[in-house]
Amino acid sequence: MVAEVYLLQTNQSVGGKFTYGIKDEEASGIRPGVFVKVPFGSGNTLKDAVVWSVSENQTVKYKLKYIKGLNPHIDPISEKEMHLAEKMQKLYLCPMGDCIKCLIPPEGNKGRVVKFACINGSVKELEDIILTHKFRNISQIRFLEYLKDCGGKAQVSQIIKDIGCTASVANTLEKNGYINIVQEKTEQSHVKEEQIESYPAQKLTEIQQKAYNTLEKMLDAGFGRALLHGVTGSGKTEIYLQLIERVIEQGGNAIVLVPEISLTPQMSARFTGRFGDKVAILHSRLSNSERNRQWKRIRHGEIRVVLGARSAVFAPFEKINLIILDEEHELTYKSEEQQPRYHAGEIAALRCKMDSGLVILGSATPSVGSFYQAHTGKIEYISLSERVNNKPLPGVEIIDMRMELNAGGRGIFSGRLIDEIRRNLESGQQTVLFVHRRGFSGHVVCTGCGKSMKCGKCNIPMTYHSGMKRLICHYCGNTAHMPDACPGCGTKIFSQKAFGTQKVQEELSKLFPEAKIVRMDADTTLGKEGHAKVIDDFVKGGGDIIVGTQMIAKGHDFPNVTLVGVISADSLLNAQDYRAGERAFQLLTQVAGRAGRGNIPGRVIVQAFDIDSYVLEAACHQDYEAFYRPEINLRKQLNFPPFCTMAVVGISGTDDRAVFDYGVTYRQGLSLEAVRLFGDCSGIEVLGLTRASVPKINNKYRWRILIKAPDRRMLLKLFESFKEPKANHKITGVIKDINPGNVF
């Protein structure tokens, strides 16, 4: 007998099926969906693979290699999961192995030997080392800081996962003598038991009950999709909980997705408080062992509800009855960094269609695409237009920062915002300040020659972090000591353009030295429990003011927050993206919704220079329709989604000219193939070649081609038919990324 298999570790050149022989003594255990070890390549290195089909011996023109046995550490996948993987491969134009890896958990420790990093010397000596300027990469500094916080020892794989670096960081630190890496035998870790505080069901308001009744009927009717559009504080979560309770009573299963890890702690408290040990929490900051254990509990039927970030949409339930995407508009539901570049909403629709389940898209600020589908009747539309208990929406005041400058103001804060912060401090109420970027300042400019301090690897401005007195590139992690004088002209005076969370925190400390100021951004929430600790401490009164990026803008319930300030709202509108207006509206509306969720009415102060923007005006009044009408008309005029489907071909390499030349050839070939397949009037546009928004990252030059098509099917047919030009070794990546557009 023979089996066709897909390798798990693949690339475009070895992404197809491979045929292997099956020895008679192993034939009974080899079936579609099981994982096996196979010899691969000239060295016959053992590789993990999944069996896709099994058949009687067939005639082949080459000598077959044989499967070397089952992989007992990976549970087989079902026929339904195999079908989902096939759909994903076609939709996202990626190797099957990448799709399969979405459907299995990382291996747990299982008593294996694992690597630990240990500092050389004492924690105090490590602190002194960190303060030196010896390090050229911020990941090395964060690795050592993580070790310091853990008392000098931590598992290497956990550090890599939590700070988002690669194994080379640990290897470099060991090579230079800062740490030792040792191997130790570990046992399977278990999730620690915590006391669960009950979260009983709440009586629905009349408008909530009406929404619940509609969704309940849809649950009974089979596959469907609904947009639950509720203003901030309207009680969407309670509707989710009661619908899930009904699903469980009928023996079903549910998945609830949240866009970011920072939202998981508060949501998990509510879900475990309602459903107890029937809930599994899945997100990227779980250890491999914890995630593996939860995955097995789901597959074995011990779990009925999964709560987690994007990848939790693949939770291995045998049957799915309900999938909810909370804050469905968030861009984090789209996988951008690795294959397959899927959208969780699209996977949810595929899974629920297979199982006759219901998909609910919940948001106070729906994506333009989702609202358009609801507006045109393609999905059900359900509105929650009032806050629970008739709590009023916060009052919003726009401050024209041009007037502040004309009046002699030069600081980050308007006089009005300073007065309101002082008022909150005097009354014992909390304040949220939203800043679009982290760090101290956006970038540093020499006042003599006008040059920005740029990253040598990426050629983009570096961000200044005052705590470390370092310039950091937020793309490649390269870091440098802040110079005393400009390396170009010698001028010693620098101007700091824009500002980030760190700068705002510092200025607040000068204005209000008595206040306890908390900062929440990617730099302060490293580690497994980073987000949860910051949020929990603030909710319990551990701070007077919290300064943060978009992490604080959505989903959190701060009962004592009565004031929200938005610093430099204009920065949201100036991104080079057709969705910049949509993104700005969503963030401003969401962060404004953090005010007044308790018993005291809230108020919001938005600082901006361009106060005439329709986006800003609509966000300040939380008026989605006022934003949507001009936005959808603009999208239609410019032929952007939802009126088309878009794909981006990203090309990168170490030689700028070679990447450009290859891109020109690629674009010409793609254009000719589009005309051959569909004719001149097909509506397909092949645009570019243009530099990427960040033209160089980590010494790799980046160019891109944009393709617009009336629908997804045409794009897929084009790429399936097109034969890519052969690339040389200077081209390191050709990535195709398709926007779901108007499909799911």
pLDDT value at residue 241: 97
Question: Which carries the bigger pLDDT value, residue 79 or residue 261?
Answer: 79
pLDDT tens digits, 263-318: 556 788 889 999 999 999 887 667 778 888 899 999 999 999 999 999 999 999 99
What is the Cα–Cα distance from 529 to 177, expressed in whole angstroms?
Answer: 29
Neighbouring residues of 421: CB distance < 8 A, sequence distance ≥ 6:
413, 431, 508, 511, 512, 545, 563, 565
Neighbouring residues of 617: CB distance < 8 A, sequence distance ≥ 6:
626
Q: Which two tokens stand for residue 153?
A: 């020892």
Residue 192 reports pLDDT greater than 50: no
Region 495-515: mean pLDDT is: 83
Give the distance, in angstroms, between the CA of residue 510 and the centroid of all CA atoms in the same chain.
34
pLDDT > 90 in the chain, percent: 45
Distances (CA, A) of 7 to 19, 47, 427, 513: 11, 7, 63, 59
Region 216-239: mean pLDDT is: 93
Whether the full predicted model's pTM is greater than 0.75, yes or no, is yes
Residue 574 reports pLDDT greater than 70: no
What is the Cα–Cα distance from 702 to 656, expressed in whole angstroms?
Answer: 8
Residue 201 reports pLDDT greater than 80: yes
Q: Which H/E stretch holds residue 555? A: none
Region 243-268: mean pLDDT is: 86
Lowest mean pLDDT among 247-261, 369-383, 482-496, 665-679: 482-496
Residue 549 reports pLDDT greater than 90: no
DSSP for 565-611? EES-THHHHTSSSTTHHHHHHHHHHHHHTTTT-SSSPPEEEEEES-T
What's the pLDDT band for 441 if we cut at 50, 70, 90?
Answer: very low
Region 577-598: mean pLDDT is: 82
Residue 27 reports pLDDT greater than 70: yes
Q: Number of helices and strands (H, E) in the chain? A: 22, 29
pLDDT value at residue 352: 97
Neighbouring residues of 734: CB distance < 8 A, sequence distance ≥ 6:
649, 650, 651, 666, 724, 727
pLDDT value at residue 524: 64
Region 605-620: mean pLDDT is: 85
What's the pLDDT band for 440 if we cut at 50, 70, 90?
Answer: very low
What's the pLDDT band for 460 if we cut at 50, 70, 90?
Answer: low
pLDDT tens digits, 383-395: 998 877 777 778 8
Distances (CA, A) of 344 to 208, 256, 272, 740: 26, 11, 23, 11
Mean model confidence pLDDT for the chain: 85
Grouping H, G, I as helix, E, B as strand and the rest as coil, residue 492 is coil
Residue 439 reports pLDDT greater than 50: no
Residue 65: name the closest of 85, 49, 82 by CA. Answer: 49
Give the number of other Cβ atoms within 10 Å of residue 426's Cβ.
8
| Alpha helices, H only, 593-710 | 614-620, 624-638, 656-678
pLDDT tens digits, 703-742: 999 999 999 999 999 999 999 999 998 998 888 888 765 4
pLDDT value at residue 743: 44
Lowest mean pLDDT among 19-33, 45-59, 426-440: 426-440
pLDDT value at residue 714: 94
Q: Which two tokens stand for residue 439?
A: 């760090």
What is the Cα–Cα distance from 221 to 512, expressed in whole angstroms?
Answer: 57
What is the Cα–Cα distance from 99 to 84, expressed in whole angstroms?
Answer: 9
Region 559-577: mean pLDDT is: 79
pLDDT tens digits, 147-160: 887 888 888 888 88
- Nearest 5°: the CA angle 68, 74, 80 is 110
Residue 685 reports pLDDT greater than 80: yes
Region 107-112: mean pLDDT is: 56
pLDDT value at residue 191: 44
DSSP for 239-288? HHHHHHHHHHHTT--EEEE-S-GGGHHHHHHHHHHHHGGGEEEE-TTS-H
